[in-house]
Amino acid sequence: MPPTAPNTTTEPPSPPDASQLEHRKITGRAGIVALGTFTSRLLGLVRDQVIAAVFVRAATDAFFVAFTIPNVLRQLVAEGAVQNAVLPVLATVREREGDAAAKRVFATMRGFSLLLLIGITCLGIAFAPQLVHLFAGGYQKFPGQFERTVSLTRWLFPYIFFMGTASLGVAALNVCRRFTVTSFAPGLLNIAFIAASLTLPVWLYSVGKDPALALAFAALFGGALQVIAQWPSLRAVGYMGWPRLALREPAFRESLRRMGPVLFGIGIYYVDVVLARRFLSELDMGSQSYFSWAMRLCDFPQGIFVMALQSATLPSLARLVARGEMHAVSKTFAFGMRLTLWVAISATVGAIALAEPLVTLIFQRGHFDAVAAHQTARAFMAQGLGIWMVAAVRQLVGVYYAVGDTKTPVRVAAIDLVAFIVSAKLLLPHFGHVGVGLAVSIASFVQMVLLWVRLRKRLPCLHSAEILRSASRTLASAVTAGFLGHAVYQWVHVHHAGHRYGDALLGIGVYGLVLLLVARLLKSEELMAVKFSRRRS
């Protein structure tokens, strides 16, 4: 018999499994969200530059406290409850019962949300003095500061109505995989702040009003713009119908059932915020502003990519859980955590190594002098230490809510609160506003460890070794880049003292370049994943 010819037919590649498909979708969607969020955060930095330069520290201290109050309620009721309780339920209904059923549930959620937000807004305006006393009772020792903060709080409180409405729209659009509008719309708020800060203070002063009211007007106008910007996209996907109050709807009741523990868990976290503001109000004038600008800088990398990845991952996790594909959920979690830590560890090391040049470059002008730059940089280093921990917590909490476990994050948040209070009490007398930032980082570490350990009961595998290897490569890249970036900044700063912004730009540029080069040499899979997603987008 003649010899059998070798089979030269190429085997077709095996189709990717569910987790691989979700990884590609998540990375691509996260790229869209990150681009929009980067634009918004860049505008946010310009907004903070303008506010820091135009307004004195007493005005910014009052504004940051007044804006924190409706923001806490917004993130508690709107973004926290909506994203972690409403979105998974809405995604499950759409997956199992179809789009028409999901639209009915959304209309009920919108009707309930509008009533709730109107009630909260009215109560907030009425009880503004009590709220300011809770958040910043120490302001009473500064003449006029307490009254100014109460006035700003009353003007700012309707902001929660606009942002709560916008958050529900974001949930519907994300479930429908419409990420562009929801990513770019927040930039409208920052544009409103920039425009109002540059045009209104002089006019308000000329008519005998507090120039800081310009910031309140900007928040209201920017919030309304974000709601309006969603309308075309909501109409296109069919979620622009009239609100309804079918409160016996099973899916609506399920979202409320989940919402209770979510609100309690997130509420415990924001007790940290209340206590932080309270502690800071008892320190010297400017402490609120230094802490707030440092927090904004820490939020920048998280907002650009970490929050973008969370927004892109949560709908995928909810769908995979609804299908019962728990191994795919585990892989998707590990993939998201690796990407998250790639960004967050790099940001943490960058914040510690280059805090002073970053703050000087971004803020030092106008009323923001060298003293303010130094104090903000100290706060930035303290809070920057926890960037990677907060980022990991966001990913971990998302998995708990996707699998329907709302109790564990609540219990862990309660322990986090105790860790924050103890740490703040010990550190505040010695480090002032920097001690508050360190306490936030310590509490975040406790929360991250507990959530990670307890997640073993919910997923078949955490892929911890895989995540640890990835994080180690990222840490090696970041530390190398941080050392060289800081060394270059110091050398230029000492030998060319007149180039205040040049030394900062050079140090930051070296950090970014070395970070990417070392990551490439170490064959970072996360860097390759981001490059791949850019080619596909």
* pLDDT profile of the chain (537 residues), mean per 10: 45 49 56 68 87 91 89 68 75 84 88 89 93 88 92 93 87 78 81 94 92 95 92 88 83 79 65 81 87 86 69 73 81 85 91 91 84 92 91 85 80 88 91 91 92 86 87 91 91 70 84 88 68 47
Predicted pLDDT at 311? 67
Q: Evaluate whether 243 touches 111 at the Cβ level (below 8 Å).
A: yes
For residue 255 the two structure tokens come to: 């979202």
Predicted pLDDT at 8? 44
Q: What is the C-alpha separation between 101 and 89, in angstroms, rounded?
A: 12
Q: Evaluate whether 214 touches 150 at the Cβ level (below 8 Å).
A: no
- Residue from 257, 71, 262 nearest 160 by CA: 71
**Model confidence, pTM:** 0.71
**Residue 195 CB: number of other CB atoms within 10 A?**
16
Residue 527 lies in a domain: no
The one-letter amino acid at 309:
L
Residue 509 lies in a domain: no
Residue 238 lies in a domain: yes
Q: What is the C-alpha separation between 204 and 370, in angstroms, rounded?
A: 28
- Residue from 171, 440, 504 nearest 299 by CA: 440
Residue 190 lies in a domain: yes
Q: Evaluate whether 404 touches 258 at the Cβ level (below 8 Å).
A: yes
Residue 368 lies in a domain: no
Q: How many CA atoms lie within 13 A of 262 on its CB side?
A: 27
Q: Evaluate whether 343 touches 29 at the Cβ level (below 8 Å).
A: no
Q: Determine the structural domain holding residue 61 and report its residue range.
A: 55-260
Q: Evaluate whether 459 touches 326 at the Cβ level (below 8 Å).
A: yes
Domains in the chain, number: 1
CA dihedral for 287, 293, 299, 303, sign (positive or negative): positive
Residue 406 lies in a domain: no
Predicted pLDDT at 214? 96
Q: What are phi and psi of 157, to 5 degrees?
A: -65, -35
- Residue from 274, 283, 439, 442 nearest 375 by CA: 283
Strand-pairing partners, residue 368, are 365
Q: Evaluate whether 520 touches 527 at the Cβ level (below 8 Å).
A: yes
Residue 21 lies in a domain: no
Residue 146 lies in a domain: yes
Q: What are phi and psi of 325, to 5 degrees?
A: -90, 75
